Structure 1
Amino acid sequence: MPRFLRQFGLRTLLLFCFVAAVCFGLLRWRMDRIHRQHAVAKELLERNARIQWQTSGPKWLRDVVGAYYFTELVMVDLQMRGQQDQELSLLGDLPALERLYLAGNPLISDQGLDHLRELKHIRRLSLWGTGVTDNGLSKLSHFDALEALDLKDTQVTQAGLARLSPLPKLKELYHRFEFTDEGLQAVAQLPTVYFGELQVGEISQRGFAQLPKIRFSKITLQNANVTDWPWYLYDHPTMSQIELHRVEITDEQAKQLIATNDLHYVILNDVPVSDEILPALVALGNGLTLRLKGTKISANGFLKHLGDRQPGRMHISDEIISMSSMGIPGMYLSYTGQVPLHDLPGLANLHDVGFLSIETSYPKIDLSHLPPLPSLELIVLDVPINDTALARLAPQLGLKTIIVSAGDQFTPTGLQALKDCRSLEELLLVEDARMTDEHLAAISECRQLRSLAIHSHGEITPQGIACLADMPRLTMLTIAFEDQIENDVLAEAAQLKKLEELTIIESDFMDENVPSLVGMTNLKELTIYHSRMSPAANERLRKALPGVKMEVFDR
């Protein structure tokens, strides 16, 4: 015996040997476990699986021994890899596995889950699209760490969900169920699960009685005919979104339902509520998503109570009013129903909007109630607009762009009123907005314009184009010709020395139109749609305008 060991008694030496044997045994066990995991990883990669490793343990020890023995597989993704039950057996050698994705393997059944029995650390498990049934869920009862489970498109029934009740940490459950009474009774036994959305079909009072026990963010109810069903959702502890389709509810019940929950998402479709509930909706504050369709709420009532929300964008048509704004919190308010644009006093309740679009088939619209909107910069009028409507735009001091794409009811007098829009930079009169020389003369008084689009129906002459020369800031011009391109009109446009961008659309641009443009050396950009120029004419035009960026689109 070496001299330094003689100072220890026999018992101490035996204890030392025992401890050393245990330590070396544990080390050997650890090494074998890691070797097995690397062997499994190699086979998984041959199956085109995605895997992820995680390193643990003290850094000083990893530096001494090497990271190899402190790295374990924590994620395996075998989604849509054609896996079968027996092929899951190798997963039993991955005791540190936390995330396992088996989605899209229909040949995996309940028997395949037997191979996962030793995986005590699984936190996320995806069984979407597999053949797992209710019996398979019972085999997950030992997954004490499981937090998220995906059961979409499996053979699991709503009643079978009750078998998940032994899982103490389960929080997320993904499914495609439209719950019945039986399904709601099952999920009521899962107090830790939080449903992002709970879709509920036609259920009885027994099913509604389960809702206060279930944690969910959004509920979608259809065909609810139980008289007092809203009572079960008053003061719900987690509900923040509600979607109702074809349900029976009174105004009083709806007001109570809204007032007792912190809602930020409300959809009412074919629900018999009236303007009486609008004050309750207003009280929900900003950041609200609201869609109303098939209700008894009126368009004017909608605007009266919600028009002051200052949306970034607003669209009005014969059957829709929508208001939205980006940012945090965002907002989307939508009304679908009859919108009487010939008599819409609710417009007076608008406080501000950045972009306004109006579209209607009414022969006449009334904008007399439209108040000054400080942030309004763009308005699109796809309506048969008249002089009175154009005059209502003059007080919009921040308005930069007006687009009119329908009707010819306005006269030069109506256009002349736009000169008071001091910020107006773009006026686009397209399609059915018929222009004459008198219209262009009125437009020329809008000295602040930078961009103009007009549609010639053969009633614009060179004299009308000449009026535009008095506009000191006009640098962009778009001309659409209804029939054939009028060379004399183009030739007069060439005399607009401040013009920098010219766009020609609608009619075919032929070789004979080229001479009208060759003198426009002041241009920076020329765009021609519907070109039928020959290659020689195209080349001639490009040589005549060498410094011009030219885009030509053949018909």
Structure 2
Amino acid sequence: MGGICSRKRDQEVIGDGIASRISGRYGKSGSSKWLRNSFGHVAVADCQAGGNRPSLMELCIQQICKDIERYKSFSVLPRDISQQIFNELALTHSLNDDSLVAFLDCALQDVHLGDYPGVKDSWMDVISSQGSSLLSLDLSDSEITDAALVCLKDCSNLQEMTLNYCESITEHGLKHIRGLNSLTSLSFKRSTAITAEGMQAFSTLVNLEKLDLERCSQIHGGLIHLKGLTNLKELQLSNCNITDFGVSLLRGLEKIVILNLEGCNVTTACLDSLSALVNLAYLNLSRCGLSDEGCDKFSVIQLSTCKVIECLRKHAELKKLKVLSLAFNNITDAVLVHLKGLKNLESLNLDSCKIGDEGLANLSGVLLVRLLSGLPLKSLELSDTEVGSSGLRHLSGLNQLESLNLSFTLVTDGGLRRLSGLTSLKSLNLDARQITDTGLAALTSLTGLTHLDLFGARISDAGTKYLQHFKNLQSLEICGGGITDAGVKNIKDLSRLTVLNLSQNSNLTDKTLELISGLEGLVSLNISNSLITNKGLRHLRPLKNLHSLTLESCKVTASEIRKLQLTALPNLVSFRPE
């Protein structure tokens, strides 16, 4: 609901420290002279003028990238400089067949071209020329084939490789990664190349710590080839058609800390195998079709035939488990009482399970024990469950709970009074139509909230006055349709906001943009389905940090937003209409 836009890769920051090394360590080198000759005196003068200006190195890099067609090779440069030039070209999508050649034999350490258009086998000559210097490689969603993997044989120090969605790689090409024994992280999301037979190529990667095979649907039985990878700490197998037998093949991988089996065809019998993973801290069993076997109706629990309960009781030795997700399964209240053995559990996800108030009563005993031992549950996900207001009394003692999701539950305004003591809460989701101004008034003691989701709640202008108690809010969503410009007056002083979603409030006008123009920390803004016009866009000019702007179904045109982007909002990378 109203998510924000984020970069796929962190942009490396070039500080003054690098510039000083250029004038010092490289002061007498040919590469330093090359840089000076490549850079205009006007830009240097601007840099020396003071103020919040880019460093000398940043200006150099920008100018080089602007005139990239002038340069035939960067191999004479120190590696850190050529790496920065490469990163900038990749970030701005300025690399092509011609400019790439300039990086031949540059000893680059990182080549991150995930989702970059036009990457193909012919680029591998330059990429592989980095040789033993290359440490990380991302060619996700590219056109490379098996031939590309052949080229990597000389990149013996490669530690991280990401080849997600590379549909032209086959299982025959995988054998060429056998010699990359320095790999610690490998990702092949949604790859048809990863078959049970193809996974033999992984058996020699003994230093592998992270393996991501999400949506690789043909690997059933192939997990046998992982038995020698005893250093594995993270294994992502979501939506891979893994069965209980497949999980049994993981028994010897005792260092696994994170295991994702979301959407797999496992049953509660897999807990027999999981109990051998003594260091397991994160377990995702969401959407696995788990149920309380023997219970024809969720309102009737037959403990003697409840297989989930039996297994949880038997395998309470998963003592290091910190994060457990059982979301979107047909499990019921009775299961919760048997979580008491998971004494390190910090996060529990029961989204869309058949959990009600009775279940929370069982859970509260577990949580009380945990509070007394100094290991409180920090995150509880109850979205789309049958939890109601009376059940919230079982949470009232969780004074160290930081995140609680009650969206699409049966909780009403009256029940929210029972949350008033949860003063450690930072994130609260109350996306439910039955929540009104009265419920928001009951939460004013939660002054530590940083994220508040009232997306579908029926909050009016009168109710927004209670928002003034939440001075620490960074993210706010109110989309129930009851807010006008008058209500926004109570939002304009929440100076720490970075995400604001006021969509669906059809009576908001350009005045709203004027009111929030002082929220200069905003990164994401959504006021769709309102009366905002092109004329009101001028009020957004102070929001220099804005990355995402959504004004769909408003009287706003894409051309006017583009003008605003070019003249006042340099960081705006996503906007609608577009």
RCO comparison, higher one (Cα < 8 Å, 6+): 2
Structure with bigger strand share is 1
Q: TM-score, normalised by structure 2?
A: 0.47
Q: TM-score, normalised by structure 1?
A: 0.49
